[in-house]
Amino acid sequence: MATICGFANAGSAQQSKAANATFSICGNGQRMTCVVDGDTFWFRGAKIRIADIDTPELSPPRCERERQRGMAAKQRLLEILNSGPLLFKRAAQDEDRFGRKLRVVHRGDRSVGDILVAEGLARKWEGSGQSWCD
């Protein structure tokens, strides 16, 4: 049986449909349903890392170009998440080394990551070490 967001270890059930939610930008208070940056957000108290993309860092950015692109990615992710129901698919690994749930997030039949990549706000995840400042 799948749980909301597919977070439980539920055998072969590795995805579930989530109800609409209203996302905001995360602040300093309790984080329940909000956007951290272009590839990380909180959904109903769980921290989610979009598994199929990488976006510019905001904490801290390494250059002004990275900061600007990171802010644009963060704002666009907020718009996408607030535009309707989401589908969460578990990645091959359930969590990253920071304890974030790794999920491929879909709006309709399209990956949110693919949307951000197509708009130039993200790149496909190929591991760490690539700079956004070059």
pLDDT of the residue at 127:
73
Q: Find out whether 102 and 51 touch, Cβ atoms under 8 Å.
A: yes
- Locus of tokens 């921290």: 47
Q: Which domains does the chain have, with CATH numbers?
A: 4-124 (2.40.50.90)
Nearest-angstrom CA–CA distance, 7 and 62: 33
d(CA 55, CA 35): 13
Q: What does the pLDDT read at residue 8?
A: 38
**Residue 129 confidence (pLDDT):** 63
| Helix (H) / strand (E) containing 116 | helix 112-118
Select the more confidently predicted residue: 5 or 39: 39
The pLDDT tens digits for 17-74 are 556 789 999 998 889 999 999 999 999 999 999 999 999 999 899 999 999 999 999 9
**Tell me, what amino acid is at 115?**
I
Distance CA 48, CA 35 (A): 10
Distance CA 77, CA 64 (A): 20
